[in-house]
Structure 1
Amino acid sequence: MKKTRYIFCSLALMAMVSQAQGKKIKKADTKFTNYSYASAIQSYEDLVEDGYTEEEIFKNLGNANYLNANYQEASNWYGQLFQLGITDIDPEYMYRYAQTLKSLEKYTASDVWMNKFKTARSNDQRALAFGNNEDYLEQIEERSGRYELKNLALNSKVSDFAPSFYGKDLVFSTARDSGRISKNIHRWNNGAFLNLYRAKGDDQGNFTSLEKLDRKLNRKTHESSTAFTKDGQTMYFTRNNSDNGKFSRDEEGISRLKIYRADLIDEELGNIVELPFNGDSYSVAHPTLNNDETKLYFASDMPGTAGESDIFSVEINKDGTFGAPQNLGPQINTEARETFPFVTGSDILYFSSDGHPGLGGLDVFATDLKNDSGKVINVGRPLNGEEDDFSYIVNEETKKGYFASNREGGLGNDDIYGFLEKEPLDFTCHTNITGVVKDKKTGDLLANASIKVYDTQKNLVASSETDANGAFAMEGNCEDGNYRVVATKTDYDEGDKIFATVNAKDATGIEVVLAQSDKSAPVGTDLAKYLNIEPIYFDFDKHFIREDARISIDKVLAYLREYPNVKVQVRSHTDSRANDGYNMQLSTSRAKSTAAYLVEQGIPEGRISFEGFGETQLTNDCSNGVPCTKEQHQMNRRSEFIVVE
């Protein structure tokens, strides 16, 4: 029995009956409209075999299979729907097609259709969640491997799900043959109606026997999803609309779900009453209590629901009355299905959803109700998989719990699995901050740049460094507000970027540009001294550049290339030997030849000037008539490189 859990029947899409089609199509459409999905699927498939390829047939075949969790078949029919080339198909079909592709582990193809869905419905919570978590598969893998699973011997060949704790025992919903199965077939999927069973447990956590619960509880309707108070005196459970204990439908042909409360005195059931916030035009189901039993959480498609079903809470007053139901809001609820809530003693809400980024079908998610950010976390593999995973419960003290899944390898359509949680989820709220650092002029990505993030109070929030590709990734906090990313790197001026965090959403695609620092020498500087190079000497009575001098000049050349705005004047000098006029001419020739060498190496002429000073600026006392050594005279035969701009 796969999908009584989907009997939020306002979820189902009403078929558009085409007057132009024959009796076979009308008959199939009638079955679909009346939620006889199992029978409708067969009728539509017969039509396809007869050559019918209408849009509505593919839509209804996709939806009927989707709502029965036959995702492979649903994917096939949605695929054929889009192959028709119709341009105005409701984007909801894009979303469902993407979901079914996930269940086939075709994640790349699924992401293609999710991007189409995001384009078509940019403000949809599911589109926003996908856009903010396009690396959702990597995030899920990071949280995977925390559970050990085992299938339970209590499972049958049909559907078993919705476990709940009842002391040492486990109460669950099942479609197993009660001996009257032929009389109790539900046309949604041709499965038996659900009943509640109890698995007796021992001190070691083993289940020793099974028994069906009281006949007052199990009627000719679906009963599922129970919750018990700690003292065992009160039970909440889900049941379909009924007429004198028999399955019934409203004027639209829908059998709504309702939550009931019952007293348990010495395990005897009595005083079964319907909760006051149920309705005849919507469903309310899957109750669970918080730790102090002051709130009841449930799933519903009542007015105010964002999607096909949302999670709500309602206050339980001391006198046993109830407050007004409150929707848990867009951080938790999407336009798809959020269902099967369970609240732990530490106020962690677990629920199943096919609206948040997952692996396919329904996945189990968790959120810390104490944290206002409402960050929703996928609990990861192996608990979640490509099919439906739902009705999660856990004992926080023992770390043991149960959930249901229709994954391959099970005994029935849905099986209950036991698990041991080996590692807790980290509910510390983080936002991902990612981006790159680039050179402002060249656009090159800059590796090894230091990254720091500050809040508006200049408190350091996170720090990191860019990798070899100039990218950075950090975890920030979830508080709403503006933040500043600051990037620094040697030989670059500091750069920054402002971003905002809203509703704990990640900040991605941040780009910080850095301009190279202008560390050129100030005007008046002699580059020979600034660069700590050997002096540029000339031979006696010569103006050509010596080979040993080229090494020093090439260092000046490299500097001029690094700082293209710098202009220099080459100043050349002689010793005091020979007359003053000759020396002035010789020094000018030396300055000119040095400047020419720089120009020959590619430095523009406009950046290089030259001037000869003869023997007017000696570096020692070797003036005219003063006896000096060759070495002392050599110190005066030189060129300087003075920064003039």
Structure 2
Amino acid sequence: MKKLILFTAVVLASSMTLYAQKTDQEIIEFAQTASTKQLLKKNTDLLMDGRYRMSIVVADKLIESSPGNSNFLYRKGYALSQQSINYEEAINLLEKVKDNTTLKYNASSDKETQAPIDALYHLASCYHHQGDIEEAKKYYQLYIDKAPKKAALRGFSELALMQCKKTEVATDKSSSVQIRNIGESINTEAPEYSPAVSLDGSALYFTSRRLWEDSSNAEYIDPRTDTYLEDIYVSYKDFDGAWETPIRLENSQPNQNEATISVSSDERKLYTYNDLTGNGDIYYSDFQNGRFNDLQKFDMEGVNTDSWEPHISVTPDGNTIYFVSDRKEGMGGRDIYRITKLPDGSWSEPYNLGAPINSAYDEDAPFIAVDNKTLYFASNNENSIGGFDIFVSVCDDMGVWSAPINMGTPINSTGDDLYYTTTSDGRFAYITSFRADGKGEKDIYEIEDNYFGRKNSALLKGLITVVGGESLPEDVNITVKCLNCGETNIRTVYPRTSNNTYMSNLDKCREYEMVYAYNDGETVFHTDKIKTKCDDEYEEIYKPVLLRLEDWTIIPALDYELAGTITDTDSGEPLEGVLIEILDKDGNVVEKMMTDKDGNYSSDILKGKEYGDNPELSLRVSKNGYVTYENPLNTNDLGNESTVLKNIGLNKLDLGKDIGNMLAVNTIYFDLDKWNIRDSEKPKLDKIVKVMNENPTLEIELGAHTDCRASKAYNQSLSNKRAKSSAEYIKSRISKPARVKYKGYGETKLVNNCECEGKQESSCSEEQHQLNRRTEFKITKL
């Protein structure tokens, strides 16, 4: 069956004709003066090479010379249909030639004015991708009716017609499944595809053909796609669940293709596709010394051959490998194969999964879930609704695969949908697709799934936190051994270097021993035991530990207590009767208490929290006549001591005191020669607003000061305007605005000897001048 290369590199990077802008310019210049015969040959060559964008440039010149020529219109329409970016324009052109096709099409003749019968197939395909199923069916059938029995596209057309009919009965899971474009933080106008998500969903590895930040890959263009070569990127989720700006991996080369396939559960091994050898093979890169190493060819016997091997998926325990190959002994096109680790540590021969997984069509992009028995894969078989669709199958205890289920809409579309990868619980998944809401030619989509979520499986999640924030040595590992599995069942996992977390899938109703070691497993520093539940639900077991590296000791879990003393900042005396309020992340008060006669307080609200947790709580401390203190408790507060000590000094509100000093609001910055409040400075003034609203009788004078530079008159005028602007901002946000007076002092109240006399320049440093450019908020009435 014809090899349809969809989402991977087409040609060898080492032999690829990489060209700069001048090559395009040469074709453009050629098209201006070439004869029709020369243009026709050039257009044919470009189409045969897959250089569709430049073929359109030549086709436009042909159409210009003969606007109604169906041969010329077809050539442009065909090129557009192959680019997957403008089906609408392709349809417009192919519609013009559909009634003027011939079975005797002569592609090399400049006298040919008709289009080939293939135009009907490509018109149907465009309608199919657009989701216009009725029009697609009409033209697929018309092509079948008119084309010779042995026509190259007959089989594809018959398959596509079956797929169109499947759309009528496709399962719609939109009530339990949501799919959305992952957004511009990852997707660009360039193609992005082949995602591989970490089990916990915090890291996403993917392939992109974008321009590098420094444009150093600008000269390396794939002539078949007119895009930059493939590179591997990774993006991490921030604390709010948003994807951060992607980082290109260090082993990406500007003049070679590197494409993601999958990532190991500990993110220590990245599997990639590369076409430097064979007909395209599987490669890998190990994470060592803080980076991914250069790509190495995957050398397991029986996997890479002279055939095409574009994909691989390794089970989280590392004992089973699924890969794709189009080797001639397969069932048809690309098939999914499996190899397993034998009891003696060797690997089995590759085994074709056979029916019902493989078919006479193409199967690709397998992904095995953490339960080691749920297989997601892509197929363009007769049960697809268009191109490749995502299917799911489950292997029973006897090793028999269930009939694959098309995951339905909205996961699948009438275009190609591939590279399904999911988190450990199956709730979030990612695929590659080309859709109307896309940013570029291919995009990555996120799926939130309440339908296909994991059941009857367990996952061990661990965290090794190092005392003092030191880096965890890369050779630390955890061996997980099943004690009641009936046979040797041992796996070794490594913590992720980015955050020291690790994961391993577990069987239900089993007992395991965990052995923590370093020095390549030779030195054991901790052991533990865990059990999984004997039910059919998804289960997660979380095992955090605190490691002291100086003696390789695991510190027991701590029972945290929040405590402290509240004092007067000026006198240092403890304050009795201070109100302590603990607020949740939404600002609701969840606990309140008063300090005793010694200014002390304590709370057990952190009980049950573990080292490294984010409490998502805030502390608010208030007393009449003092500035209220409010600050969040964060992950760093849950350290090596059981008592989270929060000693706090409160600033007393007294006449003549500067509230700005208390709140570290000493300078309000303005643009040069301006006095309107910058957005960046508003949070500073908001602190003053808060104090004024908490103390409704408080009155202040806002004074704006400058340094000595510039004339006295200028400084006086500018400081007046800035003082007024700042005061008006505060007044508009408090009760009884008359409580705020303001005055510009210019350079009349310097706090040091940085004076400027006439034309004489001050010898003061910029830092010394800065002390004079200040804003004061002095209390004038309590």
TM range (shorter): 0.5 to 0.7
For residues 78 and 333 of structure 1, do their structure 2 counterparts lie closer, same or farther at Cα, with a shift above 3 Å needed?
A: farther
- The C-alpha deviation readout for 1:570-613, integer Å capped at 9, x for no partner, is xxxxxxxxxxxxxxxxxxxxxxxxxxxxxxxxxxxxxxxxxxxx
**Aligned position for 2:228:** 192
Q: CA deviation at 1:398?
A: 4.9
**Aligned position for 1:240:** 275
Separation in structure 2 between the aligned mates of residue 64 and residue 298 of structure 1, nearest angstrom:
32
Q: CA deviation at 1:126?
A: 7.8
**Aligned position for 2:646:** none
Aligned with residue 312 of structure 1, among 296, 311, 336: 336
**Aligned position for 1:342:** 367
Q: CA deviation at 1:344?
A: 2.0
Separation in structure 1 between the aligned mates of residue 391 and residue 219 of structure 2, nearest angstrom:
37
Separation in structure 1 between the aligned mates of residue 427 and residue 385 of structure 2, nearest angstrom:
24
Separation in structure 2 between the aligned mates of residue 126 and residue 65 of structure 1, nearest angstrom:
19
**Aligned position for 1:424:** 452
Structure 1 counterpart SS, 2:207: strand
Q: CA deviation at 1:27?
A: 1.3
**1:164 counterpart = 2:199:** no
**1:275 counterpart = 2:283:** no
Letter in 2 for 1:29: T
- The C-alpha deviation readout for 1:334-382, integer Å capped at 9, x for no partner, is 6665433322234333333444454545433333355857534332222
Aligned with residue 167 of structure 2, among 125, 137, 150: 137
Separation in structure 1 between the aligned mates of residue 419 and residue 69 of structure 2, nearest angstrom:
37
Are the aligned partners of 2:40 and 2:62 in contact in 1 as well (CA < 8 Å)? yes
Q: Which has the larger radius of gyration?
A: 1
Structure 2 counterpart SS, 1:47: helix
Letter in 2 for 1:24: L
**1:201 counterpart = 2:215:** no
**1:175 counterpart = 2:212:** no
Separation in structure 2 between the aligned mates of residue 42 and residue 410 of structure 1, nearest angstrom:
25
Letter in 1 for 2:377: F
Aligned with residue 86 of structure 1, among 87, 102, 107: 102
Superposed counterparts of 1:54-69, under 5 Å: 61=76, 64-69=79-84
**1:410 counterpart = 2:438:** yes
**1:210 counterpart = 2:210:** no
Are the aligned partners of 1:358 and 1:378 in contact in 2 as well (CA < 8 Å)? yes
Separation in structure 2 between the aligned mates of residue 57 and residue 298 of structure 1, nearest angstrom:
42
**1:220 counterpart = 2:220:** no
Give the length in aligned residue pairs. Answer: 401
**Aligned position for 1:5:** 7
**Aligned position for 1:99:** 125
Higher RCO (CA < 8 A, seq sep 6+): 1
Separation in structure 2 between the aligned mates of residue 303 and residue 231 of structure 1, nearest angstrom:
35
For residues 218 and 387 of structure 1, do their structure 2 counterparts lie closer, same or farther at Cα, with a shift above 3 Å needed?
A: same
Are the aligned partners of 1:6 and 1:67 in contact in 2 as well (CA < 8 Å)? no
Letter in 2 for 1:39: M
For residues 390 and 220 of structure 1, do their structure 2 counterparts lie closer, same or farther at Cα, with a shift above 3 Å needed?
A: same
**1:264 counterpart = 2:287:** yes
**1:385 counterpart = 2:413:** yes
**Aligned position for 1:44:** 59
**Aligned position for 1:525:** none
Are the aligned partners of 2:361 and 2:380 in contact in 1 as well (CA < 8 Å)? yes
Q: CA deviation at 1:420?
A: 0.8
- The C-alpha deviation readout for 1:379-401, integer Å capped at 9, x for no partner, is 22223334443322112515112
Structure 2 counterpart SS, 1:83: coil
Are the aligned partners of 2:53 and 2:226 in contact in 1 as well (CA < 8 Å)? yes
Letter in 2 for 1:416: I
Are the aligned partners of 2:434 and 2:443 in contact in 1 as well (CA < 8 Å)? yes
Q: CA deviation at 1:198?
A: 1.1
Are the aligned partners of 2:425 and 2:453 in contact in 1 as well (CA < 8 Å)? no
For residues 135 and 410 of structure 1, do their structure 2 counterparts lie closer, same or farther at Cα, with a shift above 3 Å needed?
A: closer
Q: CA deviation at 1:196?
A: 0.7
User: Which structure 1 residue ranges, 5 or more long, are not aligned?
Assistant: 11-19, 243-249, 251-255, 428-645
Are the aligned partners of 1:214 and 1:269 in contact in 2 as well (CA < 8 Å)? yes
Letter in 1 for 2:313: T
Structure 2 counterpart SS, 1:283: coil
**1:147 counterpart = 2:149:** no
Structure 2 counterpart SS, 1:112: helix
Q: CA deviation at 1:311?
A: 3.5
Letter in 1 for 2:197: F
Letter in 2 for 1:161: Y
Are the aligned partners of 1:290 and 1:345 in contact in 2 as well (CA < 8 Å)? yes
Q: CA deviation at 1:78?
A: 5.3
Structure 2 counterpart SS, 1:340: strand
For residues 398 and 392 of structure 1, do their structure 2 counterparts lie closer, same or farther at Cα, with a shift above 3 Å needed?
A: closer
Are the aligned partners of 1:117 and 1:127 in contact in 2 as well (CA < 8 Å)? no
Q: Percent identity?
A: 19
Structure 2 counterpart SS, 1:183: coil
- The C-alpha deviation readout for 1:301-352, integer Å capped at 9, x for no partner, is 4434666x52322415469876555555465556665433322234333333
- The C-alpha deviation readout for 1:92-132, integer Å capped at 9, x for no partner, is 8765543322222221122234445677589959847965x
Structure 1 counterpart SS, 2:61: helix
CA RMSD of aligned residues (A): 4.2
For residues 46 and 288 of structure 1, do their structure 2 counterparts lie closer, same or farther at Cα, with a shift above 3 Å needed?
A: farther
Aligned with residue 39 of structure 2, among 24, 30, 47: 24
Are the aligned partners of 1:160 and 1:416 in contact in 2 as well (CA < 8 Å)? yes
Separation in structure 2 between the aligned mates of residue 117 and residue 111 of structure 1, nearest angstrom:
10
**Aligned position for 1:400:** 428
- The C-alpha deviation readout for 1:438-475, integer Å capped at 9, x for no partner, is xxxxxxxxxxxxxxxxxxxxxxxxxxxxxxxxxxxxxx
Letter in 2 for 1:413: E
Q: TM-score, normalised by structure 2?
A: 0.44
Superposed counterparts of 1:425-574, under 5 Å: none
Q: CA deviation at 1:258?
A: 2.3
Structure 2 counterpart SS, 1:139: coil
Q: CA deviation at 1:421?
A: 0.4
Letter in 2 for 1:404: T
Are the aligned partners of 2:426 and 2:453 in contact in 1 as well (CA < 8 Å)? no
Q: CA deviation at 1:423?
A: 1.7
Structure 2 counterpart SS, 1:297: strand
Separation in structure 1 between the aligned mates of residue 196 and residue 171 of structure 2, nearest angstrom:
28
Structure 2 counterpart SS, 1:5: coil
For residues 420 and 182 of structure 1, do their structure 2 counterparts lie closer, same or farther at Cα, with a shift above 3 Å needed?
A: same
Separation in structure 1 between the aligned mates of residue 7 and residue 129 of structure 2, nearest angstrom:
19
For residues 26 and 222 of structure 1, do their structure 2 counterparts lie closer, same or farther at Cα, with a shift above 3 Å needed?
A: same
Superposed counterparts of 1:570-581, under 5 Å: none
**Aligned position for 1:352:** 378
For residues 213 and 135 of structure 1, do their structure 2 counterparts lie closer, same or farther at Cα, with a shift above 3 Å needed?
A: same
Separation in structure 2 between the aligned mates of residue 330 and residue 125 of structure 1, nearest angstrom:
21
For residues 209 and 27 of structure 1, do their structure 2 counterparts lie closer, same or farther at Cα, with a shift above 3 Å needed?
A: closer
For residues 144 and 60 of structure 1, do their structure 2 counterparts lie closer, same or farther at Cα, with a shift above 3 Å needed?
A: farther
**Aligned position for 2:135:** 109
